């Protein structure tokens, strides 16, 4: 085993295989609500744009075509309320960016990356790949004594926030986002906001860290990460992008050009089509809303308490027992859920229920829950 692989945790989804086998043995088949992978069609206009650009023998631009850069900037202005001059960059989905961002920004040994106490596992993986220390914290006050000193530069180099949250669906208010940005700028810390579920508000309207309400058009030290996987069903295309501090984006571009981190030309064309059309996003959000309305009351009647779950693709649920016990109980009913333990020690009694299954499968899950 290499030193790099030994520094990483077990791949979480491998640990779910036994429960998956149990769920798959249900007479009516498995209802897989564990991984948030889209099941609905790719919008027709996006598929057409991909096909039209498929004759692409030359190397694409790491920075993205001028049309794509304009489409990203335009979408960030419209959807995120960003009025200032942004740096923008397409990425090969968002997961590779999350995993390599600390390394690409020069974070290394002796540095600290702060991640939410309950969060997407790849934030920790990215810090470990860079050789940095990881601190889980939702409190800025608690960070000071641990890693900041008046007599020497602070060790915190990067701070992740995630709103709407994966896995909890929690949405951070404007006041909180402003506080985080202000705190970080005073200490020279880069703030990276994972906003991949921004377009999927249900009970509340999520706010981007790039919004004028938060940054006032000044993006110094701030990066927002976005994805077309969820809003446009493009997980198979690996289509992501970021926007924010032009200086930081310039650094990322310089390194990514050397490393060959390039979005394929047909995918870049498909991204333009997706970013220029919001009608399919409205339609997709309604699909998820309908599935939410089916699953949430069924879970409540089965004795689950739902926390947060204000936006995004998940219901954050608990029966006040160890999450693996809940996973096993659901698996015996043919339903596969993600254990909260995947997302941090503080989530040990929760499970994440994804809305990414067909209407028929979601209805089947609700029926099975009714017989709990």
With the C-alpha atoms ordered 215, 219, 220, 222, is the resulting torsion angle positive or negative? positive
Q: How confident is the model at residue 2 (pLDDT cuts 50, 70, 90)?
A: low
Question: Could you read off the pLDDT of 249-288 as tens digits, one per residue?
Answer: 999 999 999 999 999 999 999 999 999 999 999 999 999 9
Give dist(CA 262, CA 110) in Å, integer. Answer: 30
Q: What is the pLDDT of residue 118?
A: 97
Q: Which two tokens stand for residue 46?
A: 């996006």
Question: Could you read off the pLDDT of 149-178 as tens digits, one per residue?
Answer: 444 457 999 999 999 999 999 999 999 999
**Helix (H) / strand (E) containing 293:** helix 279-301
Q: What is the pLDDT of residue 372?
A: 87
Between helices 95-104 and 122-129, what is the axis angle to 10°? 30
Per the CB < 8 A criterion, the answer to whether 19 and 336 are in contact is: yes
pLDDT above 90 coverage of the chain, percent: 90
Q: What is the pLDDT of residue 147?
A: 58
Residues 6+ apart with CB under 8 A from 268: 53, 60, 64, 65, 68, 90
As a whole number, the mean pLDDT across the chain is 94
Q: What is the pLDDT of residue 150?
A: 44
Count of Cβ atoms closer than 10 Å to residue 143 Cβ: 19
The structural domains of the chain, with segments of one domain joined by +, span: 3-41+280-370, 57-277
Question: Could you read off the pLDDT of 178-236 as tens digits, one per residue?
Answer: 999 999 999 999 999 999 999 999 889 999 999 999 999 999 999 999 999 999 999 99
Question: Could you read off the pLDDT of 45-82 as tens digits, one per residue?
Answer: 999 999 999 999 999 999 999 999 999 999 999 999 99
Q: What is the pLDDT of residue 151?
A: 42
Q: Which of the four CATH numbers 3.30.2130.10, 3.40.640.10, 3.20.20.70, 3.30.2290.10 does domain 57-277 have? A: 3.40.640.10
Cα 135 versus chain centre, distance = 19
More confident residue, 93 or 151: 93
Residue 224 phi/psi, 5-degree rounding, is -115, 135
pLDDT above 70 coverage of the chain, percent: 95
With the C-alpha atoms ordered 162, 163, 169, 170, is the resulting torsion angle positive or negative? positive
Q: What is the pLDDT of residue 1?
A: 57
Give me the CATH code for the 3-41+280-370 domain, please: 3.90.1150.10
More confident residue, 147 or 99: 99
Count of Cβ atoms closer than 10 Å to residue 67 Cβ: 13
More confident residue, 8 or 161: 161
Q: What is the pLDDT of residue 202?
A: 87
What's the whole-number mean pLDDT along residues 117-134?
96
State yes or no: pLDDT of 148 exceeds 70: no
């Amino acid at each position: 085993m290499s030193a790099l692989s030994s520094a990483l945790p077990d791949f979480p989804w491998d640990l779910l295989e036994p429960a998956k086998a149990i769920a798959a043995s249900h007479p009516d088949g498995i209802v897989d609500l564990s991984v948030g992978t889209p099941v609905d069609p790719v919008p027709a206009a996006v598929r057409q744009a991909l096909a039209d650009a498929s004759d692409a023998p030359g190397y694409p631009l790491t920075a993205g075509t001028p049309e794509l850069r304009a489409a990203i900037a335009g979408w960030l202005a419209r959807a995120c309320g960003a009025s200032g001059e942004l740096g923008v960059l397409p990425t090969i989905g968002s997961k590779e960016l999350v995993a390599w961002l600390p390394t690409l920004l020069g974070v290394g040994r002796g540095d600290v990356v702060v991640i939410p106490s309950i969060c997407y596992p790849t934030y920790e993986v990215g810090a470990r790949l860079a050789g940095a220390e990881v601190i889980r914290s939702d409190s800025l006050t608690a960070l000071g004594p641990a890693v900041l000193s008046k007599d020497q530069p602070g060790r915190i180099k990067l701070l992740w926030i995630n709103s709407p949250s994966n896995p909890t669906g929690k949405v951070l208010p404007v006041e909180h986002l402003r506080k985080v940005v202000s705190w970080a700028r005073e200490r020279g810390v880069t703030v990276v906001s994972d906003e991949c579920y921004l377009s999927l508000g249900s009970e509340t309207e999520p706010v981007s860290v790039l919004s004028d309400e938060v940054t006032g058009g000044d993006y110094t030290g701030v990066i927002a990460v976005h994805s077309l996987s969820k809003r446009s069903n493009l997980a198979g295309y690996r289509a992501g992008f970021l926007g924010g501090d032009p200086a930081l984006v310039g650094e990322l571009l310089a390194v990514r050009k050397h490393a060959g981190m390039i979005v394929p030309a047909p995918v870049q064309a498909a991204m333009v089509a997706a970013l220029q059309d919001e009608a399919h996003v409205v339609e997709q959000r309604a699909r998820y809303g309908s599935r939410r309305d089916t699953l949430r009351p069924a879970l409540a009647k089965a004795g689950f308490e739902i926390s947060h779950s204000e936006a995004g693709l998940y219901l954050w649920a608990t029966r006040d027992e160890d999450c693996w016990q809940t996973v096993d109980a659901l698996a015996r009913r043919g339903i596969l859920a993600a254990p909260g333990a995947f997302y941090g020690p503080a989530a040990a009694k929760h499970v994440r229920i994804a809305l990414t299954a067909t209407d028929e499968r979601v209805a089947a899950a609700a029926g099975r829950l009714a017989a709990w």
